[in-house]
Structure 1
Amino acid sequence: MILPTAEWRERPGLDQLVYALGECRFVGGSVRDTLLGTAVADVDIATPLSPQAVMDRLKAAEIRAVPTGIEHGTITAVLENGPVEVTTLRRDVSTDGRRATVAFTDDWQEDAARRDFTINALYADPISGEIFDYFGGLADLEVRRVRFIGDPLQRIAEDHLRILRFFRFLARFGDTPDPEGLDACTARAKDLMALSRERIADELLKLVVAGGAVGVTELMIGRGIFAPVLPEITSSERLAGLAAAEAAAGIAPDPIRRLSALLPTDKNVADQVGARLKLSNVQRKRLIAAAASLPDGSPQALAYRAGPQIAIDLLLLAGRSDDAAMISGWTVPRLPIGGGALVARGLAKGPDVARALRAVEDRWIAEGFPEAQRVEALADAAVAQALRETR
C-alpha cells in the first residue's frame, strides 16, 4: 500500500529535512490519520541515525535542531510552519510502568514492537510512500479496531497510561473494542494509581472530546476503570445530554465542560477533582462554576455576569442549546457610564455611588443592555432616588 497524497506532505522544509536525514520514515499518527482521511496535527519521523548524527546532519542542512528529548533519541527539527520530531529507532531495556530506559537500534521492527497499538506502528517511506506494517495495523485500521501490540498485560505493565490510551483511541478511532485488550485494561485498572495525576488528566481531557466519548466512558464506568482514581465518575448520562446539546448548538466539544458532565453537580466535588488532577486555576474555576445551578435571567445577562465561557457551559449542561448558540458569538457589552458621572449628578463619593451604580447596572441588564441615552436616564433616576434616601 502507498500513503495517499496529503497537504501536510507539502509542508515547506519537509523535503529538505527528509533529504538531510537520508534513511528515515514517517511514523505513527501522520500515517494513520492520512489513511483515515482525517487532518494531521503532528508529523513524526523515525530514523536509524543516532541522535548526534541527526543533530549534525540538520546543522549541516541549516535546519534548526533542538535536543528536546535526546536521552530518548528525540530531536525536534524546527521548520517554517511548525516542529517535526525526529526520533532514533529504539527498543526498551527496562520499564517500571511510568517510564522506560531505552537503547538505540537500527531494526525497524524492533522499534515498532515497543509501540502501544498496531494502528500507531505504521511507517511510510517519505519518497515512495510505501507503507511498512509489522503487526497488522492496516487490517485493524480497516475495521476500526484498537489492538495492543503483543501481550496486552505486558504492554500495560510497561506503561500504565496505556490503559487510558486504549480507551482514548477507542473513542477516537474504534468501532468495537479488542476483547483481549479490554479485559487486560479491566484487570489492571488499579495500576492507574501509580501514575501522576497530570498524566491522567492529560489523557482524560483528550478522551472526553473524542467522537465516541459517550459510549466509551459508559464502557469504562461499567468496567470499573475510573474507580481507582476518579470514583466520582459513575454515570455518562449527563455527558450524553451535553454532547447532544453541543451538536444542536453547533458548539465544539470542550474538555473541561465535558469533564464537568461526568461529575456530580456538587461544587466541593468539582473542586476536589480539579485539585486532584492538578488542573490550572482557570480550569478549576470553570469546573466549579459548571457545578452550579443555572440562575434565572436571560442568556445575555448570564454571560455578562459570569462570562461567556461559563455561561455557555451552564446553558449546554442544562440542555439549552438554542440559548448557548445565541451567546456563542455575542460580544459582552460594557456599562457605558461610571461612578464619576453619578458624582457629577450630585452624589457624594463613597458607598452611595457604588450602590447607585449597581442599581443602574442591574436595570441596564434587565432591559437588555440599552444604548447610552437610556443609561443616562437610568443614572438620573438612580441618583434622584439615592438623594431622596439621604435626606
Structure 2
Amino acid sequence: MTEREFATDVVRRLQAAGFRALWAGGCVRDELLGLTPADYDVASDATPEQVKGNFRRCVEVGAAFGVIEVLGPRGDDGEWLKVQVATFRNDGHYSDGRRPDAVTFSSPEEDAQRRDFTVNGMFFDPIANQVIDYVGGQADLRAKVLRAIGDPTARFTEDKLRILRAVRMATRFELAIDPATLDAARRMASQIRVVSAERIAEELRKLFAHRYRARGAELLREFGLLSPVLPEVPSPDVRLLTALPPDSSFPLAFAAVLLPVGKKVAGNIAKRLKLSNDEKDRIEWLVDRHVGLRNAASLRPSQRHPLLTHPGVGDLLALTRAEGFAADADFCEAILHDTPPEVLDPPPLLTGDDLVAMGWKPGPLFKRVLETVRQKQLDGELQTAADATTFAEGMKP
C-alpha cells in the first residue's frame, strides 16, 4: 500500500462513520501540480476522541490542537504508513508569534481561513475526486502567485515563520509574490527573530537544498530577511549558487553562502542555528578548504590526497567546479577514478604508539613528527616503516 492509498482509506473510513473528511494543505497543492506529496494530511469534523475511536492504532501528536496521527500498515518501501488527522479549527490569539494559545473546533470554511497561503489552503475529497477551495488557491496556483489568505499582516503576525516560509514557497514553486503579501513581509521581516533557531534552520535547509536556491537567496534579500537571519553574511553569490549541481546538499549550498565569512564565523552561524554536528563540520570544512584543489596538477600528493580521501570530497569537487575551476575538478576526479584507495590513503608508516614505544612523550614536537612523516610518506619520500623510524629519530632535539 502506498501513502496515498492509505490517506484515501483514512478519508473513506471517516466518511463511512458519518464524518466529513478531506485531504488538506500541501498535499492538495502538490496533487494539483502533478507532484508527489511528501506526506498527506487529513482534516475532519471528527474530534480527536472520535478519530481515535475509529482507528486501532493512533498517536496523540497534538491533541490540544486537534491532531491525531493514524498509523497504518507498512508501505511499499517497508516503512510504517502514517497520516495526521486534524479537526477543523479556528486558532485563537498567537501571543508568542509562533503558535495559537488555544483552538476551537470549527467548519472547513473557517479552517481554511486560518491557514497561511491560498495555495496551501485548499481541500480535496479523494473519494468524490473533488477540490474544495474557499480561498482562491486554484486560481492563484494557475496564475503562479503566492498570496497570503486574508490580511497578510494578520497571517504573519500569527506566525512570524510564515515570512520565511513565503520565500521558500515562492522559490520551490516559482511563484510571483502578491504585492500586499510582499509589502507585509518586508515591513515585518525583522520580527523573524522571535522564531526559534531550529524552525529557521529547517526552512533554510529546505530553501538551500532546492534546485532554485539562487532565487531563494535573492528573495531573502528582497524580503529584508538577510539581516535578521544571517547578519554576518553579505549578499549571497547568486552566480555561485546557480552553478552548483541541482541536487546539492544543504551543507554544500549553505557553505557556498558562507564562503565570504570564513571558517570561524561559519561555525558560529551553524551553532546559532543549532545545525547538527555533521552539518556544522561539513560546512566549516568546505568553507576552510574551498580553494584547496585549485591548481591541482601542481600540488604535492601530501597536499592533494588528504582532501581527495575526505568524506566531503564530492561536495568539495562540486564547489571547486562551481567556482570556475572545472579543469582542476576534472583532474582530481580522474585521480579518484584511476587510483586505488589504498594508494591515495595508505596505512601510516609511523603511529603515535610507535613514537611512544621509541620513548617520545606527547607534545607539539610529537604531533609535528607524525605530520611530517605522513607528508613524506604521501609524497613518496619515505617508503618503509624503517625509513620512517630513522627519519623520526633524526628529528629528536
Band of TM-score, shorter chain: 0.7 to 0.9
The TM-score normalised by the length of structure 2 is: 0.79
Secondary structure at the aligned position of 2:186 is classed as helix
In the other structure, the counterpart of 2:243 is: 244
Partners of 1:168 and 1:159 in 2: CA distance: 15
Paired AA for residue 280 in structure 2: R
Partners of 1:314 and 1:209 in 2: CA distance: 14
Shift of 1:133: 0.9
In the other structure, the counterpart of 1:262 is: 257
Partners of 2:395 and 2:225 in 1: CA distance: 62
For 1:18-59, what per-residue CA distance to the aligned partner results, in whole angstroms no more than 9, with x for missing partners? 333223111112211121122221111111100011111112
For 1:145-172, what per-residue CA distance to the aligned partner results, in whole angstroms no more than 9, with x for missing partners? 1110001111111111110011110000
In the other structure, the counterpart of 2:4 is: 9
Secondary structure at the aligned position of 1:134 is classed as coil
8 Å contact from structure 1 (residues 21, 58) kept in 2: no
Shift of 1:244: 1.0
The worse-fitting range, judged by mean Cα deviation, of 316-325 and 260-269 is 316-325
Change (3 A) 1:275 1:357: closer
Partners of 2:103 and 2:214 in 1: CA distance: 39
8 Å contact from structure 2 (residues 52, 58) kept in 1: yes
In the other structure, the counterpart of 1:302 is: 307
In the other structure, the counterpart of 1:362 is: 375
Secondary structure at the aligned position of 2:309 is classed as helix
8 Å contact from structure 1 (residues 245, 319) kept in 2: no
- 4+ runs deviating over 6 angstroms: 351-357, 387-390
Shift of 1:365: 3.7
Paired AA for residue 301 in structure 1: P
Partners of 1:40 and 1:338 in 2: CA distance: 53
For 1:120-150, what per-residue CA distance to the aligned partner results, in whole angstroms no more than 9, with x for missing partners? 1121112122111111111111122111000
1:336-355 correspondence to structure 2 within 5 Å: 336=347, 339=350, 348=358, 350=360
1:121-140 correspondence to structure 2 within 5 Å: 121-140=121-140
Task: Provide structure 2 residue ranges, at least 5 long, that are not aligned to the other structure.
Answer: 76-80, 294-298
Paired AA for residue 114 in structure 2: R
Change (3 A) 1:133 1:321: farther
Shift of 1:221: 1.5
8 Å contact from structure 2 (residues 58, 71) kept in 1: yes
Partners of 2:213 and 2:48 in 1: CA distance: 38
In the other structure, the counterpart of 1:53 is: 50
Shift of 1:230: 2.0
Q: 1:276 pairs with 265, 272, 295, which one?
A: 272
The TM-score normalised by the length of structure 1 is: 0.80
Shift of 1:188: 0.7
Task: Provide structure 1 residue ranges, at least 5 long, that are not aligned to the other structure.
Answer: 1-5, 368-373
8 Å contact from structure 2 (residues 209, 248) kept in 1: yes
Partners of 2:391 and 2:270 in 1: CA distance: 45
8 Å contact from structure 2 (residues 167, 219) kept in 1: no
